[in-house]
Amino acid sequence: MSGVGTGYDISCTTYSPDGKVFQIDYAGKAVENSGTAVGVRVKDGIVFGVEKLILSKLLEKGANRRIHTVDRTIGLAYAGMTADARQLVNRARSEAKNYRSTYLSTIPTRLLNDRLSLYVQTYTLYGGYRPFGCSILVGAWEQDGPQLYMIEPSGISYGYYATAVGKAKQAAKGELEKLKLTEMTCREAVKEVARIIHYLHDDVKDKDFELEMSWICPESGHQHQAVPESLLAEAEEAAKASLVEDMEDD
């Protein structure tokens, strides 16, 4: 090891002279090496989209999914290390199950977000642990409407109308800022998210990818479900057509 991090990046319990915890920064790099995950909150629900990079042509389609159901009305998407994210998925499901068994209702999204954030932050406090190498998006439908949160490896979390994590998060956020999310339906959001992910994918530098999408909306009965194959195929075709038009304009 050399440079400014020398001696200060061995443990997540040690601050550098600049006030940084390098282990958390390294966990963030693990997220940035992953495919992009996008979550949007529109007027009638939540849409998740993930660019799942295909590491081997021998992998079966649908293997190692990056979007999961936590409870009937709660979904979770992630970018980063799959093994770490699975631990958080199991933790989220355990929190939801325990809350339902105690109160006979779905766990409030804000409470689930707070508990997961605290759990993630705990792994930045002790020398025998390391931070989770993933960022997660949590979306749900409640009586007050859709809710969307993002949790970073440091344990910090925010509520969003739309956000992105992964290698192209900054460019994706720039595209999301152009959308009128409060006027958009989930069906429209599916096409926009597919367009953004295809637009940001670099066919030269990146591996092939599989587009995963899910939603929570009136069409799914306000439950977290995968986007229907017909709509997903339609969205991908529209995204590819948009890319061709942009190339012709250039």
Q: Which residue has 């992630």 as its token pair?
A: 78
The residues that bridge with 149 in the sheet, in sequence order, are 138, 159
pLDDT score recorded for residue 88: 97
Of the pLDDT bands very low, low, confident and very high (cuts 50, 70, 90), residue 61 is: confident
Rounded to 5 degrees, what are φ and ψ at 103? -110, 0
- What mean pLDDT is predicted for residues 71-82? 96
59 versus 36: the higher-pLDDT residue is 36
Cα separation values, 59 from 20, 35, 80, 141, Å? 39, 16, 18, 33
Question: In whole angstroms, what is the distance from residue 131 CA to residue 144 CA?
Answer: 33
Mean per-residue pLDDT, 42-51: 96
Does the pLDDT of residue 231 top 60, yes or no? yes
User: What angle, 0 to 180 degrees and rounded to 10, lies between the N-to-C axes of helices 229-249 and 186-200?
Assistant: 50
Higher pLDDT, 12 or 82: 82
At residue 1, the pLDDT reads: 40
Contact call for residues 194 and 242 (beta carbons, < 8 A):
no
Q: Report the chain's C-alpha Rg in angstroms.
A: 19
- Please state, in angstroms and rounded to a whole number, the distance separating the CA atoms of residues 213 and 65: 10
Q: What is the Cα–Cα distance from 109 to 73, expressed in whole angstroms?
A: 10
Specify the range with the lowest mean pLDDT, choosing from 22-31, 147-156, 241-250: 241-250
Percentage of the chain beyond pLDDT 70 is 95
pLDDT bracket for residue 248 (50, 70, 90):
low
What is the average pLDDT score of the chain?
Answer: 91
pLDDT of residue 204: 60
**Adjacent-strand bridge partners of 160:** none
pLDDT at 153: 96
Mean pLDDT of 76-90: 96
Lowest average pLDDT, out of 58-62, 98-102, 105-109, goes to: 58-62
Count of beta carbons in the 10 Å neighbourhood of residue 61 = 6
Q: Which two tokens stand for residue 55?
A: 């590491």
Is residue 109 within 8 A of residue 147, CB to CB? The reply is: yes
